[in-house]
């Protein structure tokens, strides 16, 4: 299957590292113009430079990736509006931005709850409101909200995170209905436990710093994510592969769904 996204413009939020960076890489490799987003100019510039170098060998000397750097804190409605002014139209919107942290359930403050909804939910809603009308007018578009297995299996150590990811599943389904019959698809991607820098820190916070990483990862999966059928952390590129497919013309009949790339973590036939 050859996926060609030449002529399409994609925005990937929270794409200076981790899953977002891998998604941006996959979309750029498929030919899309990709907007890289992070909160600071420095982080965005570093990601654009790294991605350009990263893709040079794959794409060859005659084809450089087409990248745009857009710095904005999308939890802030004014900065989100500024991003839309800079990038007024996109064909592919990947709402990947998200934060997580282990906090005992009874110690999560109102401020933390609000912060998690601002970052993990409202940032996505704002951009969908901004970009969906243009997609429907043009008769083609892809919106994907990167959710988590935590949306279905709420983790006891971070229920505020899990709850926001559950909300993203509803947001995706609702906006898919808004886009019905227009040629625009809206889906959520349920990502399982994934190997990123932030997750490494999270794993260490739960199992300690003493053991080598491979041993710490196995301990984490055995003690905290035992229902994983993969029995290892997922690599960001494995998430990106699904996202790139859903962004392609091949996925034209997949909409309103919660599509799983979770390593079999969610113990259900359907999400």
- Distance, CA of 35 to CA of 248 (rounded, Å): 17
Q: Hey, how many other C-beta atoms are within 10 angstroms of the C-beta on 204? A: 15
| CB distance 26 to 20 below 8 Å | no
- Distance, CA of 200 to CA of 215 (rounded, Å): 12
* Active-site residue, 161 included: yes
Q: How far is CA 162 from the centre of its chain?
A: 15
Q: What is the 3-state secondary structure (H, E, C) of 48-89?
A: HHHHHHHHHHHHCCCCCCCEEEEECCCCCHHHHHHHHHHCCC
- Distance, CA of 49 to CA of 52 (rounded, Å): 5
| CB distance 43 to 37 below 8 Å | no
Q: Name the burial class of residue 28, with classes exposed (0-12), middle (13-18) and buried (19+) by CB atoms within 10 angstroms of its CB.
A: buried
SS3 label, residue 180? coil
One of 21, 116, 131, 161 is an active-site residue; which one? 161
Closest CA to 12 of 91, 129, 117: 91
Closest CA to 87 of 67, 60, 107: 67
- Distance, CA of 33 to CA of 187 (rounded, Å): 21
- The set of catalytic residues is 161
């Amino acid at each position: 299957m050859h996926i060609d996204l030449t002529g399409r413009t994609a925005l990937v939020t929270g794409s200076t590292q981790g899953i977002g960076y891998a998604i941006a890489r996959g979309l750029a490799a498929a030919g899309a113009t990709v907007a890289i987003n992070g909160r600071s100019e420095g982080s965005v510039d570093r990601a654009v430079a790294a991605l350009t170098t990263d893709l040079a060998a794959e794409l060859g000397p005659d084809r450089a990736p087409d990248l745009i750097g857009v710095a904005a804190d999308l939890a802030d409605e004014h900065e989100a509006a500024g991003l839309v002014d800079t990038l007024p139209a996109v064909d592919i919107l990947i709402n990947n931005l998200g934060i997580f942290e282990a906090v005992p359930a009874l110690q999560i403050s109102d401020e933390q709850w609000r912060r998690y909804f601002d970052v993990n939910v409202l940032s996505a809603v704002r951009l969908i409101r901004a970009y969906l009308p243009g997609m429907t007018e043009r008769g083609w578009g892809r919106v994907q909200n990167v959710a988590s297995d935590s949306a279905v299996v709420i983790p006891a150590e971070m229920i505020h995170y899990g709850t926001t990811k559950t909300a993203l599943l509803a947001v995706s389904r609702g906006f898919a209905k808004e886009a019905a019959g227009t040629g625009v698809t809206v889906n959520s991607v349920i990502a399982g436990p994934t190997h990123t820098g932030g997750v490494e820190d999270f794993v260490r916070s739960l199992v300690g710093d003493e053991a080598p990483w491979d041993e710490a990862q196995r301990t984490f999966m055995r003690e905290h994510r035992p229902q994983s059928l993969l029995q290892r952390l997922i690599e960001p590129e494995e998430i990106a592969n699904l996202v790139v497919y859903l962004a392609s013309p091949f996925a034209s009949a997949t909409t309103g769904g919660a599509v799983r790339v979770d390593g079999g973590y969610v113990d259900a036939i359907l999400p």
